[in-house]
Structure 1
Amino acid sequence: MGSRRLAAAAIAAVAIFGAVPTVAQKAAPTPQQSEALAAYERALGDFKSILTERRRQIEAKEPLPNLPGQALYLARVAVISSYKDLTDVMPSRIGRPNKFEIPPAYFDAEIEPLVEEYGRLFDLMEAPPANAQSSPTPFEDVVDLAVAIARAKGLAPEHAEAAGRISLGLFFAETNGKQNVRNARSNTYMGSFQTGPSEDRNGRRKWEKIKGDVAAIDPGLSARDDKEEARARGTDQRFNHWTNVRNGLMNAHSDLFREIPGIVKTLPDTIDQMKLFQLIQIVPTPTRSALKSGDLLNYRVSSPRIMGYLRNNSIFAFGRADRAKTSASYREIFAAMWLFNRKFEKAMAKFAEIRTR
């Protein structure tokens, strides 16, 4: 009897209201959403494919192509970029936070294992050469050298400490804190601070000019430097951790250390300070011009070449909206450097650990 009454009620409801849905129907995706989803799935498939291929080649000990990391890097960029395009048109696809601290609108946490494999492959492809000269204290070396150089440049202890902290951030930004690594995306830039041969030589020449000042300030550090110079004699100094850090700092950053008192006033946030010095690595000329302008954060760059360098370093590289930008202020550039945040946070934690010992 009960079932007949329910059936009769259902028939009556249909007669009055029309068909009664039992489950809420999902709206069909728009053509734009379907296109974005297909693009993401293609990019994800390509990423999986190149990861599998590189793993197979490495395990089979096959010769790798020139710049074996470039295809991996571009495939990862395409995955993040196409996912941002997808979430722009389908916000419901934005998921949970991920262990890499990438904004969820740019990254599906379900593919974390693929990015972990990406990191493992780069570790293998960028392993130091057999004759690399490592240090038992790689992080302390970076801080000690930066502080000594800053003091030789006339900085007060407080600002010399800032130079040490910032330089440790550069070490993490360049190599994730790994010493003497090669570069799977470049045949030019190598070592703990990822310098080219000419940059390394230039840094060495600059070091010779202030070496006496450093010795007067810190005789112990000067003695260590003499030992490392002797150890690295006849080799590529980029694969001695100490000399590469020293030469890298002298080449690109030591002159800017004098500006640290003003920089910390303009950029009180420590991570922003690290971002500024990292931009000296990536786009030195406009960054120095921005500093000289008196209005750092509002200084704009619009050169296609400079915007290309930024994109090649994962800044304005992800999603159509970012890629379409033809100019940016330094305030916008700092905000777009979110992929560096996790590295700089690690550097800050390591610096605090060193100084607490």
Structure 2
Amino acid sequence: MRPRCHAAFAALALFLTTPASAQGVLTPAQSEAQAAYDRALGNFKSILAERRHQIDTRQPLPNLPGQALYLARVAVISTYKDLTDAMPSRIGKPNKFGIPPAYFDAAIEPLVDEYADIFEIMETPPAGAQDSATPFEDVIDLGAAIARAKGLGPDAAAAAGRISLGLFYAETNGKQNVRNARSNTYMGSLQTGPSEDRNGQRKWEAIKGKVAAIDPALAARDDEEEARSRGTDRRFNHWTNVRDGLMNAHADLFAEIPAIVKTLPDPIEQMKLFELIQIIPTPTRSALSSGDLLNYRVSNPTIMKHLRNNSIFAFGKADRARSSASFREILGAMWLFKRKFDKAMVKYAEIKPR
């Protein structure tokens, strides 16, 4: 990692907070909301600067170096939503991240760019990671091949490949073999833990013969990657991690794709649903089997906590006070995922799947 000069970033950060005095006379509630946002923004800048300094001076990073940074960003978005609830006039222009303007001040876009840059450095793949020269094609091909082995026709299999690419972007923004700055458990292109990786491998072995009959070339590639990953942490072989991640969490529900496509014709909504299979698997399966997916409601406090821990209903007092939500509402609240899924759709359009 090469040190970089961020004097311009530091200078910009000094001027991004809008002074409370510029808003006129504030009520006590408005003053409190403004002060909370100012504190959260100041803390976010401070942690950004600390991590940047540690990286540029090659200092050791703390355990889980991204966690404090992530929580600081959550606090900025949350307190800004509380601020705009108290002062609707503070809702500004759209931002490049696709975050609803009531939750985000577009003036601080450079800070979030810096946040993403720091995370990319902290999650750099380990030296022995086994990259693929065709990472996006691999994800699509594996998703489609698994779907075909599960008995799906060409159109549904193609949808499975597209959905799989969306999951790759949701988990790592389309970067292969990454580590995780917020977890010591979940790693790799599809961010699996050791037990999930083993479970996926076991399930793959059960359908490998069907895959070989359908796509001998893909099966031969799989044999090569199996041999290459032997004796290593297989989560840092792009091919085996994607394959086992899909088999662990998603493959059993590929059979539902024809019905899902009828209910959710928008490909991005399909990607959101399969991401929910990763976040809240049991309620999502129950919703799919209910016959009324979009109106299926969850109210278990633990499930609501899992959603909030994954940036859904996580921002602002009003959202965090929710005790239940329908799947229609959950899908609508997944706006932080949409930009990643948009990137996946662009990439998918560039690729000619087999």
Common fold by TM > 0.5: yes
- Range 200-209 or range 88-97, more displaced: 88-97
**Partner Cα distance (2:75, 2:198) in 1:** 36
Matched residue, 2:4 = none
**Partner Cα distance (1:240, 1:265) in 2:** 35
Residues 141-220 of structure 1: matches in 2 within 5 Å? 141-220=138-217
Query: Equivalent residue of 2:346, what SS?
Result: helix
Q: CA deviation at 1:220?
A: 0.7
Could you tell me the TM-score, scaled by structure 2's length?
0.92
Residues 1-357 of structure 1: matches in 2 within 5 Å? 28-355=25-352
**Partner Cα distance (1:99, 1:292) in 2:** 37
**Partner Cα distance (1:85, 1:198) in 2:** 40
Amino acid at match of 1:266: T
Q: CA deviation at 1:131?
A: 0.2
What RMSD in Å do the two structures reach over aligned CA positions?
A: 1.3
- Unaligned 5+ segments in structure 1 are 1-24
Query: Equivalent residue of 2:102, what SS?
Result: coil
Q: CA deviation at 1:267?
A: 1.2
Q: CA deviation at 1:26?
A: 7.4
Distance 1:60 1:36, change over 3 A: same
Deviations 1:40-72 (A, max 9, x none): 000000000000111111222222111110000
Deviations 1:226-254 (A, max 9, x none): 11111101011100000000000011111
Amino acid at match of 2:114: E
Percentage identity across aligned positions? Answer: 78
Q: CA deviation at 1:347?
A: 0.7
- Unaligned 5+ segments in structure 2 are 1-21
**Partner Cα distance (1:307, 1:81) in 2:** 16
**Partner Cα distance (2:172, 2:71) in 1:** 18
Could you tell me the TM-score, scaled by structure 1's length?
0.91
Distance 1:132 1:91, change over 3 A: same
Stretches of 4+ aligned residues off by more than 3 angstroms: none
Q: CA deviation at 1:356?
A: 8.2
**Partner Cα distance (1:64, 1:26) in 2:** 39
**Partner Cα distance (2:92, 2:302) in 1:** 35
**Partner Cα distance (1:48, 1:249) in 2:** 37
Which has more radius of gyration? 1
**Partner Cα distance (1:72, 1:194) in 2:** 19
Q: CA deviation at 1:31?
A: 1.0
**Partner Cα distance (1:337, 1:122) in 2:** 21
Query: Equivalent residue of 2:43, what SS?
Result: helix
**Partner Cα distance (2:224, 2:140) in 1:** 18
